[in-house]
């Protein structure tokens, strides 16, 4: 087994394991990081196929863009992002039947197809030409996009780290909270209680 096959099988196991963890994890942050490993493994597969531009796009767009957006969206929600998600099984029988049918069809196509084996050849990389274009003709749009993404990231971090005012246990939204120094409306002062007793006696 050559190095190409070893790398392929290692990252195939990584992708399957991280995808399984992403689906079955009850912590949404853990699921997001498992998705990161899944998308990173797919980028390695594209690199093994000599598709360097697609691999870099996978890392920049999906791992660096969409995944960060998901994490910021989780952090900016009102619910705690370390809370566990309550899950329940819905339509288990139809989903199992559909998955079994699709699996049987895929296996039958894989077995019945007469695959043609071709020797592996070294591909030509297009990353050098694309890098030169980004640093020469498309320098200004590339820098503007980087500044916009940086500003969006700083704004999301500031919004996520904003401290919330604590809510007292006995108060509700919209109702004023009485301070310890201010007397309660239901309680009476000693002078008023004594005056009430004297008026009752007279």
Could you read off the pLDDT of 62-77 as tens digits, one per residue? 887 777 777 777 776 6
SS3 string, 51-71, reads: CHHHHHHHHHHHHHHHHHHHH
Helix (H, G, I), strand (E, B) or coil at 116: coil
**Positive or negative: CA dihedral 172, 175, 178, 184:** negative
Domains in the chain, ordered, with CATH? 1-86 (1.20.120.1200)
CA distance 66 to 132: 26
CA distances from 20 to 23, 25, 35, 93, 134 (A): 5, 8, 10, 20, 37
CA distance 150 to 136: 22
pTM of the complete model beyond 0.85: no
The band of 176, judged by pLDDT with boundaries at 50, 70 and 90, is very low
Query: How many DSSP H helices and E strands does the chain contain?
Result: 8, 0
């Amino acid at each position: 087994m050559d190095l190409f096959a070893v790398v392929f099988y290692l990252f195939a196991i990584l992708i399957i394991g991280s995808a399984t963890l992403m689906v079955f994890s009850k912590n949404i942050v853990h699921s997001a990081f498992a998705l990161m490993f899944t998308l990173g493994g797919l980028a390695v597969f594209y690199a093994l196929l000599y598709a360097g531009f697609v691999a870099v796009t996978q890392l920049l767009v999906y791992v660096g863009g969409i995944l960060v957006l998901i994490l910021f969206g989780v952090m900016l929600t009102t619910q705690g992002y370390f809370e566990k998600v309550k899950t329940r099984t819905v339509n288990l029988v139809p989903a199992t039947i559909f998955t079994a049918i699709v699996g049987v069809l895929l296996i039958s196509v894989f077995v019945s197809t007469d695959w043609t084996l071709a020797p592996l050849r070294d591909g030509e990389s297009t990353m050098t030409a694309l890098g030169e274009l980004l640093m020469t003709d498309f320098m200004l749009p590339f820098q503007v996009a980087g500044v916009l993404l940086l500003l969006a990231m700083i704004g999301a971090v500031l919004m996520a780290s904003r401290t919330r005012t604590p809510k007292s246990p006995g108060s509700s939204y919209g109702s004023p909270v009485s301070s310890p120094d201010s007397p309660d409306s239901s309680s009476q002062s000693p002078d008023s209680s004594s005056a009430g007793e004297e008026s009752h006696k007279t």
